[in-house]
Structure 1
Amino acid sequence: MSAASPISPSRAPLAWRLGVTGHRDLAGAQLPALRAAVAEVLAIVRGTLDEVAADDTVAAVHETGAGIARVRLISPLADGADRLVAEEALRQGCELDVVLPFAQDAYEQTFGPGAVNAFRALRQEARAAGGGERVLVLDGAGGSHRRQSYRAVGRFIVRNCDLLIAIWDGEPAAGRGGTGDVVHAAIAAGLPVWCIDPARPETPRLIDSRAEAGMPPQLALARNIRQAICPVETGGTHAHGFLAALARRFDRSFGLTRTPLEDYLGETAPGPPLFRRAYADFMRIVAPPLPEDEPAMPPPQGAVEQWWEAQHQTAATFSKLYGDRYRSSYVLVFILAALALVAAALAFVVPRGMHVAVTVVELAALSAIALLVGANHLYQWHDRWISYRLLAELCRKQRVLAPIGWTLPVRDVARILSAGHGEDAPGHAAPPRDAWVAWYFAALRRGCPMPGGCLAGPALERARRIGRGMFEDQGAYHRQRQHRCEAASRRLAHWGDIFFLLAMLGVVLRIVLELLHAPGSVVTVISVACFASPAASAALLGIRAYAEFELLARQSARMRQVMADALAELDALPLDGPLASNALGGALVSVTAAMLLDIDGWAQLFHVKAVEAG
C-alpha cells in the first residue's frame, strides 16, 4: 500500500481470543460437570460479545459483519482439558487455532492410548467447521527438550489470547510447561484467568487484578469483556490561549471533530499539498537530505505480515500528513510574525501615503497567524500527528513480532500511551489523550489472523530478515535525521547570528548617516534593514528552538548505536536448534522495547509543542 494510494483506516474486527491450559488426566466422573463449566464460560463470552455488538458505539468502530463476533480458541489439543475445551468451543461455533509444540508425529507419541484418533478427529471437525482450522507447529522437540517445548506452547498461548481458561486444581506445576506454570505466567502478564477446579467445577473463579472484590466471577468476566470491546474514553486536548479556546468552542458548536478514534477511522486520502509543503521546502534549503538508502524491509508475505503492514502504512500516511501540516504551520507562524513586526516598524519610516499599505500587510500577517493557530487547534493537527505516529510505530513493530507469535510488551505500550492528559476539572484526573491508540491496537491484535505453518528453518530465517530490515531502515532513518537536524541547527544559528550582526551594523551606520546629514531616503533604507534583520534573526532562532533540532540529533545518534548493536546480536543468533524461536523472539522484543522508549521520548517532547500565536 503506497502513501499515495486512496486509503482509509479500517475498523477492527470484533473478535475475542481464548486460550486453554489444564490437566491431561481427568477422571471420567468429572467430565460431565467440567463440560458444563466450560460451556458456561463460553456462553458468557459469546453472549457478552453479541450483546455489545448491538451497541451503536461498538458497531461504529468494529467490523461486526452480521452482528456476530468471532470467538477463537487457541489450543495445543493435548489429552484432557485442551480437547475438552476445544470440543465445547466447536460445539458453540467458535473457531479453532491449533499450536503444536513440535512436529505432529512426535507429538502424537506423547498421547495416551486411543487419544491419537481423538486428536485427529477433532482436527477434522475443526476443518469441516465454517471457520476452518489454522495450525502452527513450533520449533520444539521431544526428549530432553520436551518440557521446554511445552513451556513454549504455554507462553505462546498467554501472549496471544485475551482470556485463559484453566482447568486447574491450584497445585504447583510438576515442571516447566505445566498448568500451574502457564497460569502464573498469565497472571504475571496481567491476563485474566478463568479457573475451573476439577474437584469443584460448579464454583469457578476469575483471577483478574481489575475485578472488584465480592463481584461474582460471571459478572466480572462480562464486565471485563465489555470494557475491552467498548471504545475507551479519551481525554481532550490542551487549549492554551484565547485562540485555542475559541477553536474548541467553535468545534463544540459545529461538531467538526468527533472522538479521536472516530476521527481516525474517518480519515480519507490526502488532498493537494497546499501549504503543508512549507516545512519540507524550508528543510530542503537549510539542510538538504542525504541520498536515501534502498528499503531493507522485505515486502510482506502471508496474512499476518500483510495485516500489520497495511495498518502501519495507513497510520504512517496520515501521521505524515498531519505532521507536515503542523510543522509547516509553526514555520509559517514564525515567518509571518517577522513580517508583521517589520510592517509595524515600517509605519514609522515610510511616507504617510504608504501607511495604509504597510498596515494592511501587518493585519494580513496577523490574520494569517490567527487562522493557522486556530486551524491547528480546531483540526488537531498536532495531536493527530503524534497519535498516528504512535499507532504506526506499534503496528510496524508488531509486523516483525507477530509471524513468530510474539507481541509488544503490553505494559510498555500502556505506559507510553498514558503519558499526556487532556483537560480536566481541578482535582480530577482526565483519561490519557492517546488512550484510543492502545485500545485500537489491542482490537487489531484480537482480529489479526494467527500465523500458520512450521516455525523452523526458512520461517525463522525470514523472521530474522524482517527484523534486520526494520533495524536497518530505522538506522538509516536516524542517520538521515541526525544529519539534517545537526545541519539545520548549525545553519539556523549561524544565519541568526549574521542577521543580528547586520542589525547592529545597520544601527551604527544609521547613526553615522544621521551625523553626516545623509539624504532621508538612504536613512530610510538603512532603517528598514535594521527592522528586518532582528526580525529575521528571531524567526530563524525561534524555528530552531521550536523544532528541537539539537535534542533530536542526540536522540538519533543514540538510536543509531542501539540499531547497530541490535543487528550484531541478531546476526549472531543460531537458528538451527530446538526452540531457536524463543531466542529470536526475545531479542526482537528487547530491541522493539528500546525503540518504544525512543518513541516515548519523542512523544513527550512534542506533546507540549502546540502551535500558539504568542
Structure 2
Amino acid sequence: MDADAERCVAPHLTSVLRELAEATAALKPMHPKIFEDVPFVPQLVSALAEGADQYGAMAAIELGYRLQAILPLPQEDYRQDFDAVGARKFDALRGQADRILELPPQHSGREESYTLAGRAIIAHCDILIALWDGEPARGTGGTADVVSMALRRGVPVIHLAMQTGVTSRILWTGYEEFVDSTDLESMPFRLVEPATLHALAHAVIGPPTHPPTLDDLEHYLGERQRRARPRIEYPLLLALFGIKPLRRSAFASERYEEATCVEWLNFRNSCGPERFGVDVTLTDLERSFAWADQLAQHFGQIYRSGHALNFTLAASAVLIALTGLFLPRFAFPLAIAEASVIATFVANTLIGSRQQWHRRWLEYRQLAERVRPMRSLKLLGVASPPIAGRQGEGSTASWIEWYARAQWRAAGCPTGRLTDATGLTQAIVREELEPQIRYNHGSGHQMHVLDHRLHQVGIMLFCLTILSCILSVVVNLISHASHEVHLMFIVASAGLPTIGAAIFGIRMQGDFCSTAERSLITADDLTRIAKALDNPANSLARQTDLAEAAAATMLSDVAEWRRAYNLRTLQFV
C-alpha cells in the first residue's frame, strides 16, 4: 500500500474499527441475560500480508483489538514474500498475535495457499474489512477473490476505497432477499457511516430481535441440569417390543459434562496438537454440546412418553367404559376411574403444551447437532460451519443459528502449524464420521423394526376383531347365546380395535418409518463422504470441502427431521 493509499484509507479504517468495537460492546448492557459479565475485547483476524493487512493489524492493535493470524504458509516460508520493512513489521505483529495458524504449502503453488488463507479468514470472521481498489480479481487469492468468497458465504464486506473520489460501501447479501451473491455489480450496499456500522454489528453479532425467539434463547440459557427422567413410557414401549432393553439411562442421566467426556476425550487424543500440530480450545464447545445433547435427550423422552401415554389413556378410557357392561355393580367406581383417566390425559397434554416439551426437544437437538461437527471444522482451520437460514437486517433468524455461531466465534482461530492434513482428516473420519455412520445405521434399523412390530400387532388386533365378529354371527346362527356371551363379543369387537387404533396412533405420531429412512440415507451419504476423505491425494481445499459437506449432511438430516416433527405437537387425539 503506497503513501497516497494510506493517507486516503487511514482515517476511514480507524473510524470503522472504533465504531464496530463500540457497537459490539453496546450489545452486552442491552442483553444482560444473554452475554456473560466479562469485558468485551474485539478481535481482528488477518493474514499479516505486506501492505494493507499489516497496516490494518497495527491500527486494530492500537484500538485495543486482539490479533489472530492465519498464515498461508509456514512462517519462515511466508516471510520470504516480504521486503525488509515488511518482514520487520511481520515479525513485530506475529509477536503480538494471540494465536497463529500456519497452513501447509499446497502442491499447486502459492496462489492456492493464499486462497486457502482467505477462506480461513472468512471462516473465522463476522465482518470482512477490505482495503481494496475495487478492481476485478487478477488471479486467485487476491483481495477481489476474497471479497467475492465472503459475499457468497453471506459475510458482509466493508469496502474501504484506497483512492480518492471512490465511495466506501458495506456490501452484504443480507440487505435484501433473493440476492445473486456472485454479482458484485448489483450487490446491495449501504454507505459507510456510524449508523450503518452500528446497525451492521447489531444485525450480525447481536441476538435475535424477534421477541418470541429471544424468549426461547433466554429460556435455553436459563435451563438447569435435569438428571432425573420420571417419564419412562417411551423406553418401556421400546423394551416391550424388543427394540432396546430398559437401562439405567432411561431413569436418570449422568452429569451433563461427564456424559460426553469419554467421546470428546477420544476425539482430543486422536486429533490433538501433538499428532497434527493444530490446537483448538474445545472446552466451551464440549460443554455447549453436552448441555444441548442431554437436554434434547431429556425432553425427547418426555415428549415421546407423553404421546405414548395419551394414546394408552385414550384406549384405557374406552376399555373401562366397556368393563362397566360386565360389572354393572361397579358402575360408580368405574365411572370415577374413567374420569380420572380422561383427566390425566388432559393434564398430560396441557402440561406438555405449557412446558413446551415438543419445541425444546426439537430445538435443543438441532443445536447439539450444529455444535458437534464444529470441533472437526475448527481443526482443519479453513472450514466454515454450514449456513442455515437467512441472516440480514430485520430477519427472524433462529436463536439456534445465532447461538451456534456465537460458540464458533468464542472458540476462536486454531493455533499451531498444520503438519499432516491427510492424517488429520483420516482421524476425523474415525472419530467424527464413523461414529455418526454407526449411530444412523443402528437408529435406522431400530426404528424400522419398531415400526414393523407396531404394524404387526395392530393388524393382528384388527384381525382378531374381524374374527370376533364372525364368531358372534356364527354363535347366534347356531344357538341362542346368553347375555354374557353377547357382552363378551361386544367388548371384543369394541375393545380390540380401540387398542389397535392406539398402537397405530403411536406408530403414525412417532413417524418411525420415515425416521428410519432418513437415518439410513444419512448414513449412506456420510459413508460416501468418508470414503472420499480417505483419499491421500486430496488437497487441503478438497478435504475442507468434504468436511463441510459432512457437516451439512448431518445438519440437513436434522433439519428434515425437525420439519417432519414440527407440527406433531402434544395435543388432544
TM-score normalised over the length of structure 2? 0.86
Alignment partner, residue 432 of structure 2: 470
User: Per the alignment, do residues 118 and 171 of structure 1 end up closer, same or farther by CA in structure 2, a change over 3 Å counting?
Assistant: same
Work out whether 1:345 is the aligned partner of 2:308: no
Alignment partner, residue 191 of structure 1: 155
User: Per the alignment, do residues 431 and 342 of structure 1 end up closer, same or farther by CA in structure 2, a change over 3 Å counting?
Assistant: farther
Q: Contact 1:287–1:485 at 8 Å: present in 2 too? A: no
| CA deviation after TM superposition for structure 1 residue 512, in Å | 5.3
> Which amino acid counterpart does residue 104 of structure 1 have in structure 2?
Q
Work out whether 1:60 is the aligned partner of 2:33: yes
State the alpha-carbon separation in 2 of the partners of residues 431 and 205 from structure 1.
Answer: 21
Which residues of 2 match residues 312-391 of structure 1 at below 5 A? 312-347=289-324, 349-391=325-367
| CA deviation after TM superposition for structure 1 residue 468, in Å | 3.4
Alignment partner, residue 267 of structure 2: 299
User: Per the alignment, do residues 188 and 563 of structure 1 end up closer, same or farther by CA in structure 2, a change over 3 Å counting?
Assistant: closer
Q: Contact 2:169–2:189 at 8 Å: present in 1 too? A: no
Q: Contact 1:297–1:473 at 8 Å: present in 2 too? A: no
Q: Where do 5+ consecutive residues of structure 2 fail to align?
A: 176-187, 248-261, 273-278
Counting aligned pairs with the same residue, the percent is 27
| CA deviation after TM superposition for structure 1 residue 431, in Å | 7.3
State the alpha-carbon separation in 2 of the partners of residues 361 and 530 from structure 1.
Answer: 22
State the alpha-carbon separation in 2 of the partners of residues 32 and 201 from structure 1.
Answer: 13
Alignment partner, residue 43 of structure 1: 18
State the alpha-carbon separation in 2 of the partners of residues 596 and 272 from structure 1.
Answer: 29
State the alpha-carbon separation in 2 of the partners of residues 297 and 479 from structure 1.
Answer: 24
| CA deviation after TM superposition for structure 1 residue 328, in Å | 0.5
State the alpha-carbon separation in 2 of the partners of residues 282 and 166 from structure 1.
Answer: 58
User: Per the alignment, do residues 520 and 389 of structure 1 end up closer, same or farther by CA in structure 2, a change over 3 Å counting?
Assistant: same
> Which amino acid counterpart does residue 487 of structure 1 have in structure 2?
V
Q: Contact 1:305–1:402 at 8 Å: present in 2 too? A: no
User: Per the alignment, do residues 296 and 523 of structure 1 end up closer, same or farther by CA in structure 2, a change over 3 Å counting?
Assistant: farther
Decide which moves more: 517-526 or 185-194. Answer: 517-526
| CA deviation after TM superposition for structure 1 residue 460, in Å | 4.7
State the alpha-carbon separation in 2 of the partners of residues 201 and 72 from structure 1.
Answer: 30
Work out whether 1:136 is the aligned partner of 2:107: no
Alignment partner, residue 140 of structure 2: 176
Decide which moves more: 512-521 or 399-408. Answer: 512-521
| CA deviation after TM superposition for structure 1 residue 288, in Å | 2.1
State the alpha-carbon separation in 1 of the partners of residues 501 and 92 from structure 2.
Answer: 77
Q: Contact 1:192–1:206 at 8 Å: present in 2 too? A: yes
| CA deviation after TM superposition for structure 1 residue 82, in Å | 0.8
SS in 2 for 1:270: coil
Q: Where do 5+ consecutive residues of structure 1 fail to align?
A: 1-25, 128-132, 238-257, 419-429
| CA deviation after TM superposition for structure 1 residue 436, in Å | 0.8
User: Per the alignment, do residues 233 and 218 of structure 1 end up closer, same or farther by CA in structure 2, a change over 3 Å counting?
Assistant: closer
SS in 2 for 1:450: coil
Work out whether 1:607 is the aligned partner of 2:566: yes
| Residue-pair matches, total | 536
Larger relative contact order, structure 1 or 2 (CA cutoff 8 Å, min sep 6) = 1
Work out whether 1:482 is the aligned partner of 2:444: yes
State the alpha-carbon separation in 1 of the partners of residues 479 and 267 from structure 2.
Answer: 73
Alignment partner, residue 131 of structure 2: 167
SS in 2 for 1:135: strand
SS in 1 for 2:534: helix
Deviations 1:347-370 (A, max 9, x none): 3x1343211122112111111111
Q: Contact 1:204–1:217 at 8 Å: present in 2 too? A: no
Alignment partner, residue 444 of structure 1: 407
State the alpha-carbon separation in 1 of the partners of residues 106 and 377 from structure 2.
Answer: 22
Decide which moves more: 489-498 or 601-610. Answer: 489-498
Alignment partner, residue 287 of structure 2: 310
State the alpha-carbon separation in 2 of the partners of residues 141 and 563 from structure 1.
Answer: 26
SS in 2 for 1:63: coil
State the alpha-carbon separation in 2 of the partners of residues 555 and 366 from structure 1.
Answer: 35
In the alignment, which of 404, 416, 438 is matched to residue 380 of structure 2?
Answer: 404
Work out whether 1:553 is the aligned partner of 2:512: no
Q: Contact 1:319–1:385 at 8 Å: present in 2 too? A: yes
Work out whether 1:286 is the aligned partner of 2:261: no
> Which amino acid counterpart does residue 102 of structure 1 have in structure 2?
L
> Which amino acid counterpart does residue 100 of structure 1 have in structure 2?
L
Deviations 1:514-555 (A, max 9, x none): 664555445544543433211111111111111112212222
State the alpha-carbon separation in 2 of the partners of residues 410 and 385 from structure 1.
Answer: 21
Work out whether 1:268 is the aligned partner of 2:235: no
Q: Contact 1:390–1:437 at 8 Å: present in 2 too? A: yes
Q: Contact 2:116–2:382 at 8 Å: present in 1 too? A: no
Q: Contact 1:573–1:583 at 8 Å: present in 2 too? A: no
Deviations 1:11-40 (A, max 9, x none): xxxxxxxxxxxxxxx223443443322211
State the alpha-carbon separation in 2 of the partners of residues 454 and 291 from structure 1.
Answer: 47
State the alpha-carbon separation in 2 of the partners of residues 199 and 140 from structure 1.
Answer: 34
Alignment partner, residue 228 of structure 1: 204
User: Per the alignment, do residues 213 and 473 of structure 1 end up closer, same or farther by CA in structure 2, a change over 3 Å counting?
Assistant: closer
User: Per the alignment, do residues 340 and 516 of structure 1 end up closer, same or farther by CA in structure 2, a change over 3 Å counting?
Assistant: same
Deviations 1:566-596 (A, max 9, x none): 2211212436xxxx32221111112222222
Alpha-carbon RMSD: 2.8
Alignment partner, residue 181 of structure 2: none
Q: Contact 1:206–1:217 at 8 Å: present in 2 too? A: no
Q: Contact 2:519–2:557 at 8 Å: present in 1 too? A: no
State the alpha-carbon separation in 1 of the partners of residues 331 and 174 from structure 2.
Answer: 68
User: Per the alignment, do residues 489 and 394 of structure 1 end up closer, same or farther by CA in structure 2, a change over 3 Å counting?
Assistant: same
In the alignment, which of 417, 422, 426 is matched to residue 454 of structure 1?
Answer: 417
SS in 2 for 1:274: coil
Q: Contact 1:287–1:484 at 8 Å: present in 2 too? A: no
Alignment partner, residue 20 of structure 1: none
Q: Contact 1:270–1:321 at 8 Å: present in 2 too? A: yes
Alignment partner, residue 85 of structure 1: 56
Decide which moves more: 100-109 or 110-119. Answer: 110-119
